[in-house]
Chain A
Amino acid sequence: MPSSNNTMLKQEPIALDIQHLNVYFGEGHEKFRAVKDVSISVAAGGSYGLVGESGSGKSTVLRAVSGLVPSWDGTVAVNGEPISKKREMSYCRTIQMVFQDPYASLHPRHSIDRTLSEPLRLHKFDNIDDRVNQALVDVGLGRSFRFRYPHQLSGGQRQRVAIARALMLEPDILLLDEPTSALDVSVQAEILNLLSDIRKTRQLTYILVTHDLAVVAHMCDEIAVMSHGEIVEVMDVETMRDSKPQHEYTRELLEASEGYQPEA
């Protein structure tokens, strides 16, 4: 790690350790390496940002870690234990994910109640009714939403349901895949506030993937910049705030996030 104030973080145990991760798509001649030799480690209770443009492989890292993409190699260790490609049921209770598009991530024909209670039933939790009600209150929706269907909700409300769903199994680590990029600015603020609150109260570890540098600066302590499947720079948030990144690509991203500059 390049920066010095990481010493404090290092005392925390590592929640997620990814070493030399490669992810492949396709087979034979068409085989394509979407993620190349990516290594990151996230301290327990930390918030790690993965930044990059579309096609940089940032979401693919999340999908490999969560188990949605099976074709990867390298080592991924969660709470010190390497995980295998075949995921155990208990793994679901360690890592959960929030998806980008709340219009696509909730089953259109299932009520909110079913969406939230199904994971509980799968993992044989007790007090399902209470847990579902509490989860809705926790994400700021309230019980009256319990028996509605996704099409009755706004984008922000849907994303709250998606967050509640990810929290149902009480995971330690939450993977956030562009959780606000499909939402309006004012709704984004609400969702980001909610995510910050939840992290504080539940001591969760976040890995946030986004293309928005302002969002990542607001949410994360440590940031990795990805381009074409590789990590080009890892920095802490202060470095980014002071506009002192090392890599040219990071500087370019930073400049663009400030708005438009006419041709020099």
Chain B
Amino acid sequence: MSIDTTSHDQGFKGWLTSESPESRFHAQMVQLYAGWQSLVANRLAFLGFMIIVLLVLVAIFAPLLATHDPSIQNLKTTLLPPFTGGHILGTDDSGRDIWSRIIYGSRITLFIVALVAFTAPVFGLLVGTVSGYLGGWVDTVLMRITDIFLAFPRLVLALAFVSALGAGIENAILAISLTAWPPYARIARAETLTIRNSDYIAAIQLQGAGRLRIILGHIWPMCMSSLIVRVTLDMAGIILTAAGLGFLGLGAQPPSPEWGAMISSGRQFIHDHWWIATMPGLAIFIVSLGFNLLGDGLRDILDPKKAQS
């Protein structure tokens, strides 16, 4: 009803909140800014977001933040409690600085998270949308395969893969990805089944678009929000699985400062030297919490029903 007069006269902010963007790029920036604003408005989600930004920064600037070399052993300074001899979080049984190990360990954690986040959901999305959109025997075959993967407890399946492929961080990631995709396929398929009957899909069909174009260009964007939420919430579980594999000695191998492996090695000293296992445990806890908070907030922010109003 009202005539839009707000653009242009407020500088950059006005440009970012413009009601009538002038180019494709401008439109994307406006969308992005609106998303950013709702993220900032949601305090807990923003806290989660900041934790993850912090994790990324720590991983990037690890050499600057670390006070010691994470893998140099010093048998003179073993098992020092926190805040002694220049070791903020103490040292472990080999005399390595726990603070520095956790700092460098964030790189491994980030590596795991990034690789899993860019493989499992994409694969699951592909399987789910193809299955849901094409239907018929394709659907039957793809979904039964998904069922088979879903039938095993995740950690057990990951263990089986790792023991078949050999212990190591890369194989751990591969195993986690292989076990993580089926739920995403399920979600994507369920969403696709409702989306494929909508009028906007009918409209693009009438305009002669092929199946691949419809799946990638029209169905994927609609599945994205629920998938992003699910992936973010799952990240905590993935970090824990990676830590669990590390703990069992099947993930990252010593002396690499993977958090799960650190807890594992600290376990035998837990009664007398609690900090060795507790500090990496805290790190896992904080990062998992960050992902969970962000995921919860994203669910509110990305909900398309809410976005309508």
What residues of chain A have their CB less than 8 Å away from a CB belonging to chain B? 66-68, 87, 89, 91-92, 95-97, 99-101, 104-111, 113, 118-119, 122-123, 144-145, 147-149, 151-152, 162, 165-166, 168-169
Chain B: CB-nearest residue to A123 = B208
Whether B307 is near chain A, meaning CB under 8 Å from some CB there, is yes
How distant is the Cα of A91 from the Cα of B207 in the complex, in angstroms? 9
Q: How far is the CA of A165 from the CA of B200 in the complex (A)?
A: 11
Least distance between B27 CB and chain A CB atoms (Å):
4
Residues A122 and B209 in contact, CB atoms below 8 Å apart: yes
Nearest chain B residue, comparing its CB with the CB of A106:
B200
- Can you list 23 residue pairs at the A/B interface with Cβ under 8 Å? A67-B206, A68-B202, A87-B208, A96-B206, A99-B199, A107-B200, A107-B221, A108-B222, A109-B222, A110-B221, A118-B209, A119-B204, A119-B207, A122-B207, A123-B207, A147-B21, A147-B22, A148-B21, A148-B27, A149-B27, A151-B307, A162-B203, A169-B207
Residue in B22, B31, B199, B218 whose beta carbon sits within 8 Å of that of A105 in the complex: B199
Alpha-carbon distance A151/B306, docked complex (angstroms)? 11
Instruction: Pick the contact of B20: A68, A99, A144 (CB < 8 A).
Output: A144
Mark interface residues in B203-223 (1 if CB within 8 Å of A CB, else 0). Answer: 111111100010001100110
Partner of A165, one of B19, B203, B213: B203
Q: Which residues of B line the A interface, CB within 8 A?
A: 19-24, 26-27, 31, 198-200, 202-209, 213, 217-218, 221-222, 304, 307-308
Answer whether A118 and B207 are a contact pair too, CB < 8 Å, given A105-B199, A109-B221, A109-B222. Answer: yes
Partner of A107, one of B205, B208, B213, B218: B218
Interface secondary structure of B, over-half rule: helix
Choose among A66, A110, A144 the residue that contacts B206 (Cβ–Cβ < 8 A).
A66
The interface residues of chain B lying within 8 Å CB-to-CB of A89 are: 208
| Contact residues in B for A111 (Cβ distance below 8 Å) | 24, 27
In the complex, which residue of chain A has the Cβ closest to the Cβ of B304? A108
Which residues of chain A come closer than 8 Å to B23, judged between CB atoms?
Answer: 147
- Which residue of A has the minimal Cβ distance to B217? A118
> How far is A162 from B198 in the complex, measured between Cα atoms in Å?
14
Taking CB atoms, residues of chain B closer than 8 Å to A118 are 204, 207, 209, 217
Residue numbers in A under 8 Å from B213 (CB-CB): 122
| Nearest chain B residue, comparing its CB with the CB of A109 | B221
A68 adjacent to B206 (CB under 8 Å)? yes
Given contacts A92-B208, A110-B221, A104 and B26 within 8 Å (CB-CB): no
Q: Which residue of A lies closest to B219 (CB)?
A: A107
B26 touches A147 (CB 8 A): yes
In the A-B complex, list the 3 residue pairs whose CB atoms are closest, starting with the nearest.
Answer: A105-B199, A147-B27, A147-B21
Q: Across the interface, which residues of A come within 8 angstroms of B206, CB to CB?
A: 66-68, 92, 95-97
Given that A105-B199, A147-B26 are contacting pairs, would A68 and B205 also be in contact in the complex, using a CB cutoff of 8 Å? yes
A149 adjacent to B31 (CB under 8 Å): yes
Q: A68-B202, A68-B205, A118-B209 are in contact. Are A151 and B308 (CB under 8 A)?
A: yes
A148 touches B19 (CB 8 A): yes
List residues of chain B with CB within 8 A of the CB of A168. Answer: 207
Contact of A147 among B24, B203, B205, B308 (CB under 8 A): B24
Report chain B residues within 8 Å CB of A123: 207-208
Contact (Cβ within 8 A) A122 B221: no
Q: Which residues of A contact B199 (CB under 8 A)?
A: 99-101, 104-105
CB neighbours (8 Å) of A147 from chain B are 20-24, 26-27
Bound Cα distance A87, B20 (Å): 37
Return chain A residues, CB-CB under 8 Å to B222.
Answer: 107-109
